[in-house]
Structure formats: C-alpha cells, structure tokens
Amino acid sequence: MTSLILNIVGPDKPGLVSAVSEQAAAFGANWMESRMINLAGQFAGIVHLQIEPTQADALIAALLALDSPELRVFVTLGETAPAAPARLLALDLVGQDRPGIVKEISRLLAERGVSIEELNTECVSGPQAGGTLFRATARLLVPAALEPDTLQRALESLADDLMVDVTFDHAAPDVLTAH
C-alpha cells in the first residue's frame, strides 16, 4: 500500500471534509487517521490515506484538483523507512502566557534528538493567575539512548527559567521500534 499525507487549509465552511473524503473513496483509499481544527476562522486538516500503488497517482491528481485560492491542498508520500528505537513520553506544561515558550521547549527537545509526535497548545483565561495561561500537551519520541530522567531534569530547569509548570510522564510505553 502507498501512504499519502494530505494537508488542507482554507476558510472554514461546510463540505470541505466531504469533498476530500469523496475523492478518497472514489479511488478506494482507506482513511487511516486525521487531525482537523478550526483556528481563527481557518480550517486546517492533515489526513493519512492508504491506497493501492496503482491508484495513487490518480488520487493525487484528483486531490490536487481541489486546490484553489480558497482551499490549499498539499499531498506528500508517507515515509516507509523504519524509525530508530524510541520511547513515547508525555509532556504537560502550564504557565503565564508569553512569547517564546514553544520556541524554548522545542529547541531543548531538538538539541537532544527528541521528536515532537503531537503538540496541542491553547491560551485560556486564568482568573487566579491574573491573566492568560498558556497550556501545552505533547507526545514525544525520545531516543532510546536518552534517559527519561535526564530529559526531565533539563525540562524542569528550563521550566524554572520560563516560570511554567511542567509535568513529564515517563511511565508511558517502553521502547518503540517504529511509530
């Protein structure tokens, strides 16, 4: 099977997902997983499709035909190479909102070879905190050679500098060989 990764972005309106799913179904693609959200009036989605290799080019052409100034469509072939062994760990962060939190956390992770598998962020009213709170949750792929406690200490040190609270869960599954 061929894996396709589809990215779609455009002004939110009814029928966007339907248009994509109709094309996928017309060519016999299997909708494996997706993430979709409305951010500031813009619909953004990422979809993983699997399709028979003989149908992949035709589906790609049909999906790209949906591209317009109002709906941007990008299609990429999925990776098939096995990933290096890694641990899947969870990170939760909360603190006063300010510019640079994601930049600092992601820099620290990248310097240690940690891949961000999934990241969700939001700003919420924090009446007790007297302002806006920034919250982030992440699933991280940590190289098997990096001890979780070492990463946790580095994150806690940075959290002190950023004045945020970090919860690091390394009770997640042990070593993964692929993701």
Q: Are 129 and 96 in contact (CB under 8 A)?
A: yes
Q: How many domains does the chain have?
A: 2
Predicted confidence at residue 79, as pLDDT, reads 80
Residues 11 and 69: beta-carbon distance below 8 Å:
no
- Considering the domain architecture, whether residues 90 and 172 belong to the same structural domain is answered as yes
Token pair, residue 9, equals 């972005």
User: CB neighbours (10 Å) of residue 36?
Assistant: 13
What pLDDT was estimated at residue 84? 72
pTM of the model: 0.79
What local confidence, expressed as pLDDT, does residue 113 receive?
94
CATH of the domain at 32: 3.30.70.260
Whole-number pLDDT of residue 178 = 41
| Per-residue confidence (pLDDT) for residue 111, from 0 to 100 | 97
Write down the pLDDT at residue 81: 60
Identify the segments of the chain with pLDDT beneath 70.
80-83, 129, 170-179
Question: For residue 21, what pLDDT is reported?
Answer: 95
User: Of 34, 49, 77, which one is at a domain's C-terminal end?
Assistant: 77
Residue 86, pLDDT score:
82
- Predicted confidence at residue 85, as pLDDT, reads 79
Question: Which residue among 44, 59, 77 closes a domain?
Answer: 77
Please give the structure tokens belonging to residue 146. Answer: 């990096």
pLDDT attached to residue 29? 97
Q: Domain containing 98: what range?
A: 86-176
Question: Both 167 and 93 in a single domain?
Answer: yes
